[in-house]
């Protein structure tokens, strides 16, 4: 799927009164910076918050109206699957994109159970991130 830079449809979402706030949960600070920068360049009107731990992620969920979570599967303290399970139990039902260095097939069953929108196998190209983000955001705003 080709996704144009500064996609007009995605930006029109914001003009309709919706503000997309994306949360990136990644403990590798260099990768977290690259992900946040890529998302901000692609969607300059969208807010991007980063968290390096599950605790920081829960704080961001309390402080912001998060539309999309992009999370690593291996996080310090709590695995990403447990984090996703906990946010679902707490009533957050937005799209989640998972990043993993594991085999993607190992997550197939969890994807359905936890309503995971996409799985990105590390290392992945940033166009894969943009395409997955675009698809996830479109599912949100088509429903409204």
Number of domains in the chain: 1
CA 105/CA 110 separation, integer angstroms: 10
CA 48/CA 55 separation, integer angstroms: 17
62 is in which domain, residue-wise? 19-143
Give residue-wise pLDDT tens across range 1-29: 334 444 445 444 443 445 579 999 999 99
- The larger pLDDT score, comparing residue 138 to residue 113, is at 138
CA 71/CA 60 separation, integer angstroms: 13
Residue 14: inside a domain, yes or no? Answer: no
Residue 96: inside a domain, yes or no? Answer: yes
Residue 11: inside a domain, yes or no? Answer: no
Residue 63: inside a domain, yes or no? Answer: yes
CATH classification at residue 109: 3.40.50.2300
Closest to 97 measured CA to CA, from 70, 115, 122, 79: 70
Tell me the whole-structure pTM to 2 decimals.
0.84
Give residue-wise pLDDT tens across range 19-73: 579 999 999 999 999 999 999 999 887 899 999 999 999 999 999 999 999 999 9
């Amino acid at each position: 799927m080709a996704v144009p830079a500064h996609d007009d449809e995605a930006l029109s979402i914001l003009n309709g009164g919706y503000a997309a706030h994306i949360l990136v949960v990644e403990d590798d600070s260099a990768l977290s910076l690259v992900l946040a920068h890529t998302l901000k360049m692609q969607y300059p009107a969208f807010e991007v918050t980063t968290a390096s731990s599950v605790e920081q992620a829960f704080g961001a969920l309390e402080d912001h109206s998060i539309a999309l979570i992009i999370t690593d599967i291996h996080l310090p303290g709590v695995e990403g699957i447990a984090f996703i399970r906990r946010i679902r139990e707490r009533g957050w039902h937005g799209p989640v994109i998972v990043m993993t260095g594991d085999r993607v097939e190992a997550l197939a069953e969890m994807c359905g159970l936890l309503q995971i929108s996409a799985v990105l196998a590390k290392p992945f190209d940033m166009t894969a991130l943009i395409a997955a983000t675009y698809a996830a955001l479109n599912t949100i705003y088509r429903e409204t």
